[in-house]
Amino acid sequence: MSKDYTTYAPSPLGTLQITAEENGLTAINYTDNPATESSNKHQHPVLTKTVDQLNAYFDEQRKAFDLPLVLKGTDFQQKVWKQLQQIPYGQTITYSELANRLGDPQKARAVAGANGMNPLPIIIPCHRVIGADNKLTGYSGGIQRKEFLLKLEGALLL
């Protein structure tokens, strides 16, 4: 059994709970727990690297992440998450477009479900997927966070 390492990091979206295993990053969750200095003593190099890259992203100094990922999900979820990583910074696609990229335009709902199960929001940019009517739809961290991320990337112009 692999040991989990966890840290909390402040961000413009609130505190992020970041979890890794020995081989890589496993989860990022939005939390109401405030980040504290004692909890930010990163117990693993992947956590330190993740916090550094997230800080650079929020400072608009990084557009892509270079982190080892440990993704646990079904084969279909893994395929969706891989496709999400292909969406360029500052661009959006619809759930239908994502389903088309996977070879089955009828699976837009299944794609949305897998998108919602993404364990690494921000790193795997599920926020870049929008509704067919170009509306912001579901995001595990809430629509306001999705809107913030898209504005940060210049993808959402008001």
Residues β-bridged to residue 69? 25
Residue 6 CA: distances (Å) to CA of 13, 17, 18, 141:
18, 7, 6, 19
126 is catalytic: yes
Choosing from 126, 129, 150, 156, which is the catalytic residue? Answer: 126
| 8 Å CB contact between 67 and 21 | no
151-154: which pairs have CB atoms within 8 A and are 24 or more residues apart? Answer: 152/58, 152/60, 153/63, 153/89, 153/90, 153/128, 154/90
Which active-site residues does the annotation give? 126
